[in-house]
């Protein structure tokens, strides 16, 4: 049974929106770049006393993974990659989460109950979807291509893998038909029960 979904994506293909749909329906958590950054920040200041995240068991366990396993020292030494990797592995161990980016499809390759997805969409559509985030639309296409190149280089440099290699994924899907349709396809392909749907 699928308990973790990793999502790799072309920039502007809708990973955040699709993960949100899936998380809402399943009651799962989303681990993305922003949440990982919050975990690392909380771990750095965990000794300063109670914080609002302490009541969130899932988040607290991720922070503990950093603080109990030498993560603070590794962060101080500039080894953020290995700490982020441990956070992703701990999130997968707990299950019931969606992990966006950060090479999770490689870190969790071969893990049981993990389903790997790659999202893509035509460049024209990705430009339309992300135009509101940029002041200069003329630079938008270049920016999207740069972001995709960065993703590809990250996976190549850290994992010696081709970011677009279909062997890394259980499902590669074009999101041109909409985020809800993509979420439906992921549900079906991952073998999630229809009873999980919350319409």
Domain tally, the chain: 2
Residues 112 and 155 in one domain: yes
| Stated pTM of the model | 0.89
Query: Alpha-carbon distance 170 to 182, whole Å?
Result: 14
Confidence of residue 199 (pLDDT cuts 50, 70, 90): very low
Contact at 8 Å (CB) between 25 and 95?
no
Residues 21 and 116 in one domain: yes
Query: Alpha-carbon distance 55 to 60, whole Å?
Result: 8
Which residue among 53, 69, 94 closes a domain?
A: 94
Query: Alpha-carbon distance 70 to 134, whole Å?
Result: 39
Residue 116 in this model has a pLDDT that exceeds 50: yes
Residue 104 in this model has a pLDDT that exceeds 70: yes
Backbone angles phi, psi at 161, to 5 degrees: -125, 155
DSSP for 109-134, written as a single string: TT-TTEEEEEEE--HHHHHHHHGGG-
Residues 1 and 39 in one domain: no
**Residues 17-52 pLDDT 10s:** 999 999 999 999 999 999 999 999 888 886 555 566
Domain span including residue 145 = 1-28+98-199
Residue 114 in this model has a pLDDT that exceeds 90: yes
For residue 26, the model assigns a pLDDT of: 92
For residue 126, the model assigns a pLDDT of: 93
Residues 124 and 182 in one domain: yes
Residues 16 and 102 in one domain: yes
For residue 55, the model assigns a pLDDT of: 77
Residues 49 and 131 in one domain: no
Confidence of residue 190 (pLDDT cuts 50, 70, 90): very high
Contact at 8 Å (CB) between 154 and 107?
no
Per-residue pLDDT averaged across 121-139, rounded?
A: 83
For residue 141, the model assigns a pLDDT of: 87
For residue 68, the model assigns a pLDDT of: 85
For residue 63, the model assigns a pLDDT of: 92
Q: Find residue 31's DSSP bridge partners.
A: 99
CATH number reported for the structural domain that contains residue 190 in this entry = 3.40.50.300
Query: Alpha-carbon distance 43 to 45, whole Å?
Result: 5
């Amino acid at each position: 049974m699928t308990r973790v979904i990793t999502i790799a994506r072309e920039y502007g293909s809708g990973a955040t929106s699709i993960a949100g749909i899936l998380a809402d329906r399943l009651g799962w958590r989303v681990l993305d770049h922003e949440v990982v950054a919050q975990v690392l920040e909380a771990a750095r200041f965990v000794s300063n006393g109670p914080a609002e995240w302490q009541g969130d068991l899932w988040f607290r366990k991720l922070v503990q993974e950093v603080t109990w396993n030498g993560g603070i020292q590794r962060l101080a030494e500039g080894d953020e990659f290995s700490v982020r990797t441990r956070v992703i592995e701990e999130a997968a161990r707990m299950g019931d989460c969606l992990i966006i980016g950060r090479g999770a499809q490689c870190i969790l390759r071969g893990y049981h109950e993990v389903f790997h997805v790659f999202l893509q969409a035509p460049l024209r559509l990705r430009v339309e979807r992300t135009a509101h985030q940029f002041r200069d639309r003329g630079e938008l296409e270049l920016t999207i291509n740069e972001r995709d190149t960065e993703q590809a280089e990250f996976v190549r440099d850290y994992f010696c893998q081709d970011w677009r290699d279909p062997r890394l994924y259980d499902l590669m899907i074009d999101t041109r038909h909409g985020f809800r349709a993509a979420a439906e396809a992921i549900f079906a392909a991952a073998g999630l029960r229809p009873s999980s749907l919350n319409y």
